[in-house]
């Protein structure tokens, strides 16, 4: 297994932000809704994208991925009639569960493995199943698989709110089934994330009739067939936020290229409170870290709130702020695996339930640490860059699932980071 050796660094220069993984994955699933070719540009070359590509191939598509261009063609004939998405692939990536909606709508039959839990906590799929059943899909769960029949899909009014608010992938799943369901569907408490808006743009280009994506209420009028699409994936707001946190943590000034300022409002606000500044111009963003970081209280919330996917990275910055900060994790109350590792680096963080109380210190010290999940890995890299001495990060394969060429991009900014195979 690869590991990273990271040393105290200061960053400068410009980094180019990749296309969004979380936007690209549901778009890839949407290709199951048509017999025509779908072409996506600016697709990040990541493990998760390749896993989704393999699932589409198992389902009968031909997938070609070269130089950020992903082409998904119909295989010889229709989708494999079994509509089988196997556990070996689904278990490595939860987003593959959003093949269920399109398979039910287009293939009529689906057999999709239930994703398991993961390091960031319990992650149920009850909202996905509720929404699809309310669209009149028949779904049975047996031996770890969802067996679905979508031959009688019809529009419905569906409330998709759960105990932690809206669900991004449940909204994507239900939306993709509804575009081919008979009649009108209204999704209430839909997720408002930019990734849902981007998916809706793709579906509209394919001929779907829908309105309201990006708001909590999406209205869909089912159509009979959908055509192919050519579409560019939007920039990755979480990757952008990660580089912003890296600049703050290392007290550096850097420039991001290829960002959408409108996706980063909550982050901009937090950075301002911490004493830093983000200056946006066209698709560029200049990040300026203050000499002394100020503490801030952060609550993670569904969009447009502060993203849970940036909680770990900003926790690192707050360990270096002058004063006490409070993090409240409202999406995944157990997403604190990085806390113990950061404390090994001399951070002072106390976790109780969904809260982390961070007592800022002057510095962190390098140590051997273990990456537990994708965003926690990114946080440990930032901690390593900010810490005195050398940090060794084990199990960095997590980071390859979601950050394109992370060490190459960081090195270009002047970071001292090496991968040991
Ligand atoms: C997506 C993102 C992930 C991000 C998360 C929250 C992708 C590929 N992944 O995951 O990076 O961390 O949004 O912004 O886009 N829930 C239920 N029942 C369900 C589904 C979800 O209770 O059926 C709960 C979850 O446990 C969690 C909350 O709802 O507490 C939000 O999760 P959700 O938005 O569904 O996350 P994902 O879409 O899986």
One-letter-per-residue 3-state SS of the chain: CCEEEEECCCCCCEEECCECHHHHHHHHHHHHHCCCCEEEECCCCCHHHHHHHHHHHHCCEEEEEECCEEEEEECCCCCCCCCEECHHHHCCCHHHHHHHHHHHHHHCEEEEECCCCECCECCCCHHHHHHHHHCCCEEEEECCEEEEECCCCECCEEECCECCECCHHHHHHHHHHHCCCECEEEEECCCCCHHHHHHHHHHHHCCCEEECECECEEEEECCCCCCCEEEECCECHHHHHHHHHHHHHCCCEEEEECCCHHHHHHHHHHHHHCCCEEEEECCEEEEECCCCCCCCCEEECCCCCECHHHHHHHHHHHHCCCCEEEEEECCCCCCCHHHHHHHHCCCCEEEECCEEEEECCCCCECCEEECCCHHHHHHHHHHHHHCECEEEEECCHHHHCCCCCHHHHHHHCCCEEEEEC
User: Which of residues 178, 210, 232 is at a domain's end?
Assistant: 232
Ligand 1 atom nearest to CA at 162: 22
pLDDT of residue 151: 97
**Together in a domain, 310 and 215:** no
**Same-domain status, 209 and 264:** no
Token pair in block for residue 256: 């991001």
Residue 103 has a pLDDT of: 96
Indicate if 183 and 276 belong to the same structural domain.
Answer: no
Sequence-distant (6+) residues with CB within 8 A of 36 are 74, 226, 227, 228
Per-residue pLDDT at 121: 72
CB contact at 8 A, 140 and 114: no
Compute, in angstroms, the gap from residue 169 CA to the centroid of ligand 1.
6
For each of the chain's 421 residues, which pLDDT tens digit applies? Answer: 889 999 999 999 999 999 999 999 999 999 999 999 999 999 999 999 999 999 999 999 999 999 999 999 998 755 666 677 777 888 778 888 999 999 999 999 999 998 865 677 778 899 999 999 999 999 999 988 999 999 999 999 999 999 999 999 999 999 999 999 999 999 999 999 999 999 999 999 999 999 999 999 999 999 999 999 999 999 999 999 999 999 999 999 999 999 999 999 999 999 999 999 999 999 999 999 999 999 999 999 999 999 999 999 999 999 999 999 999 999 999 999 999 999 999 999 999 999 999 999 889 999 999 998 999 999 999 999 999 999 999 998 889 889 999 999 999 999 999 999 8
User: Are 141 and 192 within one domain?
Assistant: yes
Of the candidates 215, 188, 242, 228, which has an alpha carbon nearest to the alpha carbon of residue 33? 228
Output the pLDDT for position 94. 86
Do both 266 and 319 map to the same domain? yes
One domain, residues 10 and 74: no
Identified catalytic residue from 99, 118, 146, 317: 118
Q: Which residues line ligand 1 (CB under 6 A)?
A: 22, 25, 94-95, 123-128, 162-164, 167-170, 191, 195, 308-309, 331-332
In the residue annotation, 118 being an active-site residue is answered as yes
Residue 80, domain CATH: 3.65.10.10
Same domain, 281 and 363: yes
Of 100, 164, 301, 375, which is best to mutate to test ligand 1, by the most ligand atoms within 8 angstroms of its C-beta? 164
Residues 204 and 265 in one domain: no
Last residue of a domain, one of 232, 254, 277: 232
pLDDT of res. 92: 78
Cα-to-centroid distance, 367 and ligand 1 (Å): 32
Counting other chains too, the contacts that 271-274 makes at CB distance below 8 Å and 24 or more residues apart are 271/244, 274/248, 274/317, 274/318, 274/321
Cα 207–Cα 213–Cα 216 angle in degrees, nearest 5? 145
| pLDDT score, position 179 | 98
This model's pTM is above 0.85? yes
Rounded Cα distance, 400 and 402, in Å: 5
- pLDDT value of residue 118: 67
pLDDT digits (tens, 9 = 90+) for 221-234: 999 999 999 999 99
Q: Is the Cα torsion angle 151, 155, 157, 162 positive or negative in sign? A: positive
Question: Taking the CB of residue 78, how many other CB atoms lie within 10 A of it?
Answer: 11
Q: Which of 199, 232, 265 is the last residue of a domain?
A: 232
Ligand 1 atom at minimal distance to the Cα of residue 122: 26
**What is the whole-number distance in angstroms between the Cα of residue 328 and the centre of ligand 1?**
17
Pocket test residue of 129, 139, 159, 168 for ligand 1, highest count of atoms within 8 A of CB: 168
Report the separation in Å between the CA atom of 357 and the middle of ligand 1, taken as the mean of its atom positions: 24
Residue 144's domain comprises 21-232
State the Rg of the chain over Cα: 21
- Residue closest by Cα to atom 35 of ligand 1: 167
Q: Looking at ligand 1, which residue's alpha carbon is closest to its atom 1?
A: 168
* Spatial CA neighbour of 70 closest among 80, 88, 60, 56: 56
Same domain, 262 and 390: yes
Residues 307 and 346 in one domain: yes
Q: Ligand 1, closest atom to CA 191?
A: 34
CA-proximal residue: ligand 1, atom 5 (nearest): 168
Give nearest CA residue, ligand 1 atom 39.
Answer: 169
Q: How many domains does the chain have?
A: 2
Ligand 1 atom showing the smallest separation from residue 123 Cα: 26
Place of tokens 């404390």: 343
For a mutational test of ligand 1's pocket, the pick from 131, 169, 176, i.e. the residue with the most ligand atoms closer than 8 A to its C-beta, is: 169
Q: If you measure from the C-alpha of residue 167 to the centroid of ligand 1, how many angstroms do you get, rounded to a whole number?
A: 5
Of ligand 1's listed atoms, the one at least distance from the Cα of 302 is: 14
Same domain, 217 and 290: no
pLDDT tens track for 265-286:
999 999 999 999 999 999 999 9
Same domain, 243 and 219: no
Q: Residue 112 C-alpha to ligand 1 middle, in angstroms?
A: 18
């Amino acid at each position: 297994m690869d590991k990273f050796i990271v040393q105290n660094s200061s960053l400068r220069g410009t980094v180019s932000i990749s296309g969004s993984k979380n936007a690209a994955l549901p778009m890839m699933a949407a290709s199951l809704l048509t017999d025509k070719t779908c072409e996506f540009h600016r697709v990040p070359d990541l493990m998760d994208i390749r896993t989704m590509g393999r699932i589409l191939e198992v389902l009968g598509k031909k997938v070609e991925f070269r130089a950020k261009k992903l082409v998904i063609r119909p295989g010889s004939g229709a989708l494999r009639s079994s509509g089988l998405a196997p556990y070996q692939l689904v278990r490595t990536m939860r987003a593959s569960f959003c093949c269920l909606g399109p398979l039910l709508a287009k293939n009529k039959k689906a057999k999709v493995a239930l994703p398991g839990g993961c390091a960031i906590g319990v992650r149920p799929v009850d909202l996905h199943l509720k929404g699809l059943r309310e669209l009149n899909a028949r779904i049975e769960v047996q031996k770890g698989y969802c067996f679905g029949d979508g031959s009688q899909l019809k529009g419905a009014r569906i409330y998709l709110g759960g105990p932690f608010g809206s669900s991004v992938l449940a909204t994507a799943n239900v939306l993709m089934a509804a575009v081919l369901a008979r009649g009108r569907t209204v999704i209430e408490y839909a997720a408002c994330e930019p990734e849902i808006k981007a998916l809706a743009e793709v579906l509209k280009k394919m001929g779907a009739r829908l309105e309201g994506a990006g708001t909590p209420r999406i209205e869909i009028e089912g159509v009979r067939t959908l055509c192919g699409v050519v579409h560019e994936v939007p920039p990755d707001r979480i990757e952008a936020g990660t580089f912003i946190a890296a600049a703050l943590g290392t007290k550096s000034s850097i420039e991001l290229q290829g960002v959408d300022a409108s996706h980063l409002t909550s982050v901009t606000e937090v950075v301002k409170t911490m004493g830093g500044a983000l200056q946006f111009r066209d698709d560029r963003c200049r990040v300026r870290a203050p000499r002394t970081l100020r503490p801030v209280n952060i609550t993670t919330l569904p969009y447009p709130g502060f993203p849970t996917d940036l909680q770990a990275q900003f926790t690192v910055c707050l360990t270096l702020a002058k004063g006490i900060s409070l993090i409240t994790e409202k999406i995944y109350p157990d997403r604190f695996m990085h806390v113990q590792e950061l404390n090994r680096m001399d951070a002072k963080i106390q976790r109780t339930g969904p809260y982390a109380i961070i007592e800022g210190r002057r510095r962190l010290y390098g140590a051997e640490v273990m990456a537990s999940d994708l965003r926690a890995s990114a946080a440990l890299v930032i901690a390593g860059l900010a810490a005195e001495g050398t940090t060794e990060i084990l199990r960095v394969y997590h980071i390859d699932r979601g950050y394109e060429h992370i060490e190459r991009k960081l090195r270009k900014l002047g970071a001292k980071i090496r991968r040991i195979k």
